[in-house]
C-alpha cells in the first residue's frame, strides 16, 4: 500500500527565503505526525504546498498514490485533505453551523440531510454544538480554532493538517483540543500537526519531524527528536520550551 | 413562530447523543407562510392587472418587469458572486437578436423567447473563459469590451438589418389589445421565474458557496468549494436572465436595433436599481426597480433634472447607505422575506417545550437567525 501522503523532492522559495529544499516525507494512513521548527521555518508554507494554496517550484505532492500537483485547493480537499489555518478563516457572515455545512456539502460532497448530519457531527466532535446558531464573527479565539477543526473534519478528510491550533490557549483548553484531535485520529484520520505547544504534540503524535532551513533535520519518536543535538541547536537562544514533560 | 419550515430531521449527532436530534430550519423572524402568501397574492394581483388596466399601463409594467429581471441578475453577479459586470447589455442584445433570428426563420416570437435566452446563456460560457481571467476593475472593463464587440458583430451582419436593425415579424397580425396581453404575461412569467430562480439558487448549496466565498475565498476553497465553477454558473444564469429580458424587449418593441439593445444604459439602469434598493438582498432590486420607475414617471418630463436627481440619489445612497434602502429597513427591523440562513434546533427537549427564542442575526447577511441551541447531550 502506498503512503497516504508522499512528498517527493519538494522545493519552494520566496525570493531569497528557502521554504522547502528538496523535502521528502511519507505519512502512512492513520498516522499521527507532529511538525516543529523555528518561527519562519516554512511550516505553514509546507501546508500550503500540501493543501494546494501554494505551488512548488520542484518536486511532487502525492496523495493516496497519485500525484496531485495539478489539483487546486478545492479538489485536494475533496480528495481527502482537510486543513486548518494558523490564523483562523471563519466565514463571518455565516453562522457556525453554516461554516461547517459548507465543508460537509463541498468537501465531503454530502447533500441535504446527510450534509446536515455530517455538519452536526463535526460540530459535536469539536464541541461547538452549543454555538451552532451563533454568528461566526462573534466567536473568540478558542472557538475560532475549534471551528477550523470542525470545518476540516466535516469535509471527511483522510488527512488532517492542523496548523498551531493549540497556540494561545490555556492548559485546560489545550487538553480538550488534544482530545478532539485524538478522537479524529482514533477514527482513522491521519494527523499532521504543526505546533509550538510541545506538550500538546507529546500527548498526540508518535512521530515528530523538525523543519529548519527548508529541510527536515530530524525525524523519529518525539522524545528522540526533541533530544537530538540538531534540533536543540536550531532552538538555541529561542524562547521555545523543548523540555520533554515527565 | 413554532411553524418553521422543516427541511430536515436528521439522525442523532453521534452515538453518545442518542437523545439529541438535530433539525435544520430555514427561517427568518417573519412567519414562514408570509413569503408564499405574499408571492401568491402579488402574482395573482399582477395576473389580473390586464383585465382592468389600460394598455399604456400594462406596457409600463412590461418595462418594470424587464428592468427587475435585469436587476435581479446583476444582483446575483455583483451582490453574491462578486462579479461587477458593466457589460450585461451583451446578453440583453443577444437575447433580443435571438428573438429576431428565430422569428425570421418562422417561429412565433413569444415561443422563441426561451430559446433566445438559452442562446445568450450558451454564448456566456466561452465569454466566461475569456473574462474570468481578469479580476475587479479589469473584469468589469472586459465585460464592456465584450458587449461592444457583440454589438459591432451584429452591426456588420446585413442579414439581421445591420446598424439599422429590423422589425420582428410575426406579431403584427395580433390586435393591439391581444398583443399587449401576450407581452404582459410573457414579461410577468420571466420576472417571476427570475425571482424564483434567484431565490432557489441562493438557498441551494451553491448559495452557501457564494456566501462563503464572499467572506473568505481561500477558506472556502480549502473547505472544498469550487469557486470558479460557482462563479461560472452565476455568470451563465445572469446571461440567461438578461437574455430573456432582451428577448422581452424585442417582443414588446416589435423591432431591434443594435445601438438600442446593446446600449450600456441597460447596465447603468440595472446597477442603479440594485444599488439604491440594496445590493446583496433579494428585496433590494425589487425596491430599487420600483423607485426607479416612480422617479422616472414623475421626472421624465423635466429633462436634465431627471438625470441630476438620479445621479445625486445614487451618490447619496453610495455614501450613506451602502446596503441600499432595503439595507436601512433591514437594519432597523430585521425583516427578510427571503430567508437564506440555516438554523439548527436540537430536539433533545420535550416536543411541547417552547422553541428556541429567535432573534435576527445582525451580522449575518443571509437572514440567518440566532437562537439558543440546546445542549448537545
Ligand atoms: N506568500 C509569501 N511571499 C513571500 N514570503 C512568504 C510568503 N509566505 C511566507 N513567506 C515567508 O516564508 C517564511 C516562512 O513562513 P511560514 O509562515 O511558512 O513559516 P512558519 O514556519 O509557519 O512560521 P511560524 O512558526 O511563525 O508560523 C517566512 O520568512 C515568511 O515571511
Ligand atoms: Mg506558521
For A193-211, how does the pLDDT look when each residue is reduced to its tens digit (9 = 90+)? Answer: 999 999 999 999 999 999 9
In-domain check, residue B370: no
In-domain check, residue B360: no
Query: Residue A94 has what DSSP assignment?
Result: S
In-domain check, residue A113: no
Query: Is A137 close to B363, i.e. CB distance below 8 A?
Result: yes
Count up the domains in chain B and report the number: 3
**Residue A211 β-bridge partners:** A216
Helical packing angle, B109-131 and B89-104, nearest 10°: 140
Range of the domain at B195: 34-263
pTM: 0.87
B56 and B178 share one domain: yes
Question: What's the confidence (pLDDT) of residue B138?
Answer: 95
Query: Is A111 close to B361, i.e. CB distance below 8 A?
Result: no
Range of the domain at A20: 1-80+161-169+193-246
Phi, psi for residue B137 in degrees, rounded to 5: -60, -35
B23 and B72 share one domain: no
Bridge-based pairing of strands B166-167 and A17-27 is unpaired
- Give the mutation candidate from B4, B82, B208, B223 for the A interface (greatest A CB count, under 10 A): B223
In-domain check, residue A137: no
How far is the C-alpha of B171 from the C-alpha of B103, rounded, in Å? 9
Residue in B closest to A108 by C-alpha: B224
Report residue A239's pLDDT band, with 50, 70 and 90 as the boundaries. Answer: low
Percent helix, strand, coil in chain B, to 5, is 65, 5, 30
In-domain check, residue A103: no
Of A92, A101, A117, the CB nearest to B342: A101
Contact A46, A123 (CB under 8 A): no
Closest CA to A18 of A45, A38, A47, A52: A45
B244 and B294 share one domain: no
Q: Nearest C-alpha to atom 30 of ligand 1 is from which residue? A: A40
In-domain check, residue B95: yes
B118 and B48 share one domain: yes
Cβ–Cβ contact B5 with A under 8 A: no
Contact B157, B272 (CB under 8 A): no
In-domain check, residue B372: no
Cβ–Cβ contact B34 with A under 8 A: no
Cβ–Cβ contact B341 with A under 8 A: yes
Question: What's the confidence (pLDDT) of residue A242?
Answer: 53
**What's the mean pLDDT in A222-238?**
86
Q: What is the pLDDT along chain B (377 residues), one digit of tens a residue?
A: 333 333 444 333 344 343 357 888 886 777 778 888 999 999 999 999 998 888 888 999 999 999 999 999 999 999 999 999 999 999 999 999 999 999 999 999 999 999 999 999 999 999 999 999 998 899 999 999 999 999 999 999 999 988 889 999 987 777 888 888 999 999 999 999 999 999 999 999 999 999 999 999 999 999 999 999 999 999 999 999 999 999 999 999 999 999 999 999 999 999 999 999 999 999 999 999 999 999 988 887 777 787 788 888 888 988 888 889 998 888 888 778 888 889 888 765 444 434 444 333 333 334 333 333 333 33
Question: B363 versus A112: which is more confidently predicted?
Answer: A112
- Taking CB atoms within 8 Å and a gap of at least 24, the contacts of B316-323 are B317/B275, B317/B276, B318/B275, B323/B278, B323/B279, B323/B280, B323/B281, B323/B284
In-domain check, residue B102: yes
B323 and B299 share one domain: yes
- Locate the ligand 1 atom nearest the alpha carbon of residue A211 and give its number: 21
**Chain B hits for A103, Cβ within 8 Å:** 223-224
B44 and B135 share one domain: yes
* Interval between CA A45 and ligand 1 midpoint (Å): 6
B80 and B94 share one domain: yes
B223 and B329 share one domain: no
In-domain check, residue B169: yes
Question: What's the confidence (pLDDT) of residue B79?
Answer: 93
CATH at residue A62: 3.40.50.300
Sign of the Cα torsion B209, B211, B214, B218 reads negative
B59 and B156 share one domain: yes
B321 and B192 share one domain: no
Phi, psi for residue A20 in degrees, rounded to 5: -140, 130
Residue in B closest to A138 by C-alpha: B363
Taking CB atoms and a 6 Å cutoff, what residues make up the pocket around ligand 1?
A: A 14, 17, 19, 37, 39-45, 86
In-domain check, residue B196: yes
B137 and B207 share one domain: yes
First to last CA, chain A: 36
Question: What's the confidence (pLDDT) of residue B52?
Answer: 87
List the beta strands (DSSP E) in B231-325.
255-256
B273 and B124 share one domain: no
Amino acid at each position: 500500500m502506498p503512503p497516504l501522503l508522499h512528498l517527493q523532492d519538494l522545493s519552494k522559495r520566496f525570493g531569497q527565503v528557502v521554504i522547502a529544499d528538496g523535502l521528502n516525507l511519507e505519512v502512512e494512513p492513520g498516522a499521527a505526525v507532529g511538525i516543529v521548527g523555528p518561527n519562519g521555518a516554512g511550516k505553514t508554507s509546507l501546508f500550503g504546498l500540501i493543501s494546494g494554496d501554494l505551488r512548488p517550484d520542484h518536486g511532487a505532492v502525492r496523495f493516496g498514490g497519485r500525484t496531485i500537483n495539478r489539483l487546486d485547493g478545492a479538489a485536494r480537499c475533496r480528495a481527502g485533505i482537510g486543513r486548518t489555518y494558523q490564523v483562523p478563516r471563519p466565514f463571518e457572515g455565516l453562522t457556525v453551523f453554516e461554516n461547517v455545512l459548507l465543508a460537509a456539502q463541498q468537501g465531503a460532497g454530502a447533500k441535504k440531510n446527510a450534509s446536515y448530519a455530517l455538519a452536526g457531527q463535526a460540530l459535536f466532535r469539536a464541541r461547538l454544538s452549543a454555538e451552532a446558531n451563533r454568528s461566526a464573527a462573534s466567536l473568540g479565539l478558542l472557538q475560532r480554532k475549534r471551528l477550523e477543526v470542525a470545518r476540516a473534519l466535516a469535509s471527511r478528510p483522510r488527512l488532517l493538517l492542523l496548523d498551531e491550533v493549540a497556540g494561545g490557549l490555556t492548559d485546560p483548553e489545550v487538553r480538550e483540543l488534544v482530545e478532539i484531535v485524538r478522537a479524529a485520529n482514533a477514527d482513522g484520520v491521519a494527523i499532521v500537526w504543526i505546533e509550538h505547544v510541545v506538550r500538546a504534540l507529546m500527548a498526540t503524535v508518535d512521530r515528530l519531524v523538525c523543519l529548519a532551513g527548508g529541510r527536515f533535520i530530524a525525524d523519529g519518536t518525539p522524545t528522540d527528536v526533541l533530544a537530538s543535538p540538531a534540533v536543540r541547536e536550531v532552538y538555541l537562544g529561542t524562547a521555545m520550551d523543548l523540555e520533554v514533560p515527565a | 413562530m413554532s411553524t418553521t419550515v422543516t427541511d430536515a430531521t436528521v439522525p442523532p449527532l453521534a452515538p453518545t447523543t442518542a437523545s439529541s436530534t438535530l433539525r435544520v430550519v430555514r427561517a427568518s423572524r417573519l412567519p414562514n407562510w408570509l413569503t408564499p402568501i405574499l408571492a401568491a397574492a402579488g402574482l395573482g394581483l399582477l395576473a389580473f392587472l390586464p383585465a382592468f388596466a389600460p394598455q399604456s399601463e400594462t406596457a409600463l409594467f412590461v418595462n418594470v418587469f424587464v428592468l427587475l429581471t435585469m436587476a435581479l441578475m446583476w444582483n446575483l453577479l455583483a451582490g453574491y458572486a462578486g462579479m461587477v459586470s458593466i457589460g450585461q447589455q451583451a446578453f440583453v442584445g443577444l437575447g433580443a437578436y435571438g428573438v429576431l433570428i428565430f422569428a425570421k426563420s418562422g417561429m412565433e416570437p413569444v415561443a422563441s423567447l426561451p430559446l433566445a435566452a438559452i442562446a445568450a446563456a450558451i454564448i456566456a460560457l466561452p465569454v466566461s473563459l475569456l473574462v474570468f481571467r481578469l479580476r475587479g476593475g479589469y473584469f468589469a472593463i472586459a465585460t464592456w469590451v465584450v458587449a461592444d464587440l457583440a454589438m459591432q458583430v451584429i452591426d456588420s451582419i446585413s442579414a439581421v438589418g445591420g446598424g439599422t436593425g429590423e422589425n420582428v415579424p410575426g406579431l403584427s397580425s395580433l390586435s393591439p389589445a391581444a398583443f399587449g396581453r401576450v407581452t404582459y404575461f410573457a414579461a410577468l412569467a420571466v420576472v417571476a421565474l427570475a425571482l424564483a430562480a434567484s431565490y432557489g439558487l441562493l438557498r441551494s448549496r451553491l448559495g452557501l458557496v457564494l456566501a462563503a466565498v464572499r467572506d473568505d475565498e481561500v477558506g472556502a476553497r480549502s473547505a472544498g468549494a469550487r469557486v470558479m465553477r460557482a462563479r461560472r454558473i452565476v455568470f451563465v444564469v445572469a446571461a440567461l436572465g438578461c437574455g430573456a429580458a432582451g428577448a422581452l424587449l424585442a417582443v414588446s418593441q416589435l423591432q431591434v436595433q443594435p445601438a438600442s439593445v446593446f446600449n450600456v444604459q441597460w447596465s447603468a439602469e440595472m446597477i442603479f436599481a440594485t444599488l439604491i434598493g440594496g445590493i446583496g438582498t433579494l428585496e433590494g432590486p425589487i425596491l430599487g426597480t420600483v423607485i426607479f420607475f416612480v422617479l422616472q414617471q414623475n421626472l421624465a418630463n423635466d429633462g436634465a433634472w431627471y438625470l441630476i436627481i438620479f445621479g445625486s440619489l445614487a451618490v447619496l445612497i453610495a455614501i450613506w447607505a451602502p446596503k441600499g434602502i432595503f439595507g436601512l429597513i433591514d437594519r432597523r427591523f430585521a425583516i427578510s422575506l427571503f430567508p437564506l440562513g440555516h438554523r439548527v434546533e436540537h430536539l433533545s427537549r420535550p416536543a411541547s417545550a417552547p422553541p428556541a427564542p429567535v432573534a435576527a442575526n445582525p451580522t449575518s447577511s443571509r437572514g440567518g437567525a440566532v437562537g439558543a441551541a440546546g445542549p448537545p447531550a
